[in-house]
Amino acid sequence: MGRFQVLYVIFLNVPVLMLACHAVLQNFTGGSTDHHCQIHSNTSNVSLVNMAQNLSSQDLLRISIPVDENQRLEKCRRFVTPQWWLLQPNASMSNTTVVETEPCIDGWVYDKSVFPSTIIMEWDLVCDFWKLKQMAQSIYMAGVLVGGIVFGGLSDRFGRRSLLIWCYLQMASMGAASAFSPSFSAYCVFRFLTGMAFSGIVLNCVSLCLEWTPTHMRAIVGTLNGYCYTLGQFFLAGMAYALPDWRWLQLTVSLPYFIFFLYSWWFTESARWLVITGKPNRAVKELKRVARINGKKEEGDKLNVEILKSNMQKEMSSVKNTHTIADLARTPVVRRISLCLCFVWFSTSFAYYGLAMDLQNFNVDIYVIQLIFGAVDIPAKLVSVLTITFIGRRFTQAAALILAGLSILANIFVPQDLQTLRTIMAVFGKGCLAASFNCVYIFTGELYPTVIRQTGMGLSNTMARIGSITAPMVKMLSEYFPSLPLIIYGAAPIISGIAATFLPETRNVPLPETVEEVETRAKQLREEEQQMKTLLAPAKPDPASEAGEKQL
């Protein structure tokens, strides 16, 4: 872990800090607020014009907007004509009163005390159009899904560095374009492309960190990556408070990626990938550069293609083989790994975004709850890195998912009026899911061999995005049975936690380079376990000695 690795990890992780802002940005740019129909524009043209001019705003609302059963202004209806009789003392609408109402044909008035400007206000995404807000977030997540499929495969073919540079540029330009969107449709298109760039940055950042980091430091580096994401959640709360206008907030979290794009040209391509793809000369060149930065120029000068080939014969032999997504299911062990990881990634993202994108339902100041949701990641990821390092990846992954599921299910039995307790349970569950994310990024990179690592990460990322797209849809099931969403959100992590116990342990194990190496390791492990069982099994008694003992 020399000077090069330290600088490399820092430069790779700084952009991750801003990724958290983009992932949950719509909590603020699309924040919900109280609203009601625009008051009749012809109110002043009625016969009581002089009286209307002297009415207070409350009186105008009283004669123009009906109230619901909780005596709150209706959000989506107004009286067809002003109901002047409601100004009389003790006048009120009874259950039997029938007054004709109509939709908000003149638009809406929004409460701007918390959010002075959002996409909701910009394009009136309320009443009959409220589903468009959820659709915008789903479109963004669909972009993340497509990005995982596209950039995962392209990275294995064209390299991690070049795809990462492109994704920085795409994130900067499409994120900034979102801030200047002239229409909701354009906004959705730009957010989709931003989501694609999000996946490319995550996948290539993780792979480059893993492939340039020594085995004993991988857990720490992976956790540092996770902590940068946590700091980004704090950063977002502060920026959203300082920049309440959604366009300025969107622009502010996007422009730094132009800086990341410029300095990313300094990045070094993965030497492992260069060797695997048959480019040993370039791999030697990059390794010599790293040696110079680490102050080991003499050792680097001794390196040449022949030495590299002699030390990586197994990896070089894999160059003759072409690898596709089919290799993720071609052999038994890799197939089992892929299936289990699909469960883990789906449920982690599914439950995580089910909680993280629903901040306003906790009846707590949204900036405060954003800080709390970010703060819980600090102890959660600290505990996870300790268990990852000293106990193992498999235990950490399974425990985090099962505890998250249990905490979500527990909220089914907590009464609605105990809002503080419900929030505590949700925050604990979110912390467990953050620990699960922290582990699964490291675990996945270590389980897949170099030749298909990015393809495997792309598949895993795809399952995660399917989970994040599905999460908002599950909330709609509460109309049929209020506790059903919580049951689903809680059951999914528990099932996936059980599936995680079938994954191989990778603690202190070198990164596999080929599919055959993964299969060989699994076979050796099974043989060692069988030998251990044989040694620990009680010895069978000798029949002859038993007969002699009976005679005695």
| Domain CATH number, residue 446 | 1.20.1250.20
Task: Copy the structure tokens of residue 36.
Answer: 């009601």
Between the CA of residue 356 and those of 366, 374, 427, what are the distances in Å? 11, 10, 9
Which pLDDT score, from 0 to 100, does residue 47 have?
47
Domain boundaries, position 94: 35-110
Examine residue 298 and state whether it is found in any structural domain, yes or no: no
Examine residue 474 and state whether it is found in any structural domain, yes or no: yes
Stated as kind and residue range, the H or E segment containing 37 is: strand 35-37
Q: Which residues of the chain register pLDDT less than 70?
A: 40-56, 69-70, 85, 89-98, 309-323, 357-364, 478-479, 533, 537-552
CA 292/CA 495 separation, integer angstroms? 49
pTM here is 0.72
Report phi then psi at 516, rounded to 5.
Answer: -60, -35
Q: Assess contact for 448 and 460: CB atoms under 8 A.
A: no
Examine residue 269 and state whether it is found in any structural domain, yes or no: no
> Which of 65, 87, 110 lies at the terminal end of a domain, its last residue?
110
Examine residue 318 and state whether it is found in any structural domain, yes or no: no
Residue 172 CB neighbours (<10 A): 21
Task: Copy the structure tokens of residue 546.
Answer: 């038993």
Q: Assess contact for 168 and 267: CB atoms under 8 A.
A: no
* Total number of domains in the chain: 2
- Evaluated on CA atoms 114, 116, 118, 121, the torsion sign reads positive
Which pLDDT score, from 0 to 100, does residue 359 have?
65
Give the ranges where 131-279 is alpha helix by DSSP (H).
131-158, 160-179, 184-212, 218-242, 246-252, 256-263, 271-276
In terms of Cβ atoms closer than 10 Å to its own Cβ (0-12, 13-18, 19+), residue 105 is exposed
CA 397/CA 407 separation, integer angstroms? 16
Report phi then psi at 108, rounded to 5.
Answer: -130, 160
Which pLDDT score, from 0 to 100, does residue 342 have?
92
Between the CA of residue 101 and those of 58, 74, 105, 418, what are the distances in Å? 19, 11, 11, 37
> Which of 110, 139, 164 lies at the terminal end of a domain, its last residue?
110
The alpha-carbon radius of gyration of the chain (Å, integer) is 29
For residue 465, which of 192, 163, 185 has the smallest C-alpha distance?
192
Residue 457: CB partners within 8 Å, gap ≥ 6?
A: 148, 152, 203, 206, 207, 444, 445, 448
> Which of 110, 129, 146 lies at the terminal end of a domain, its last residue?
110
Examine residue 371 and state whether it is found in any structural domain, yes or no: yes
Q: Assess contact for 247 and 117: CB atoms under 8 A.
A: yes
Q: Assess contact for 259 and 48: CB atoms under 8 A.
A: no
Which pLDDT score, from 0 to 100, does residue 44 have?
45
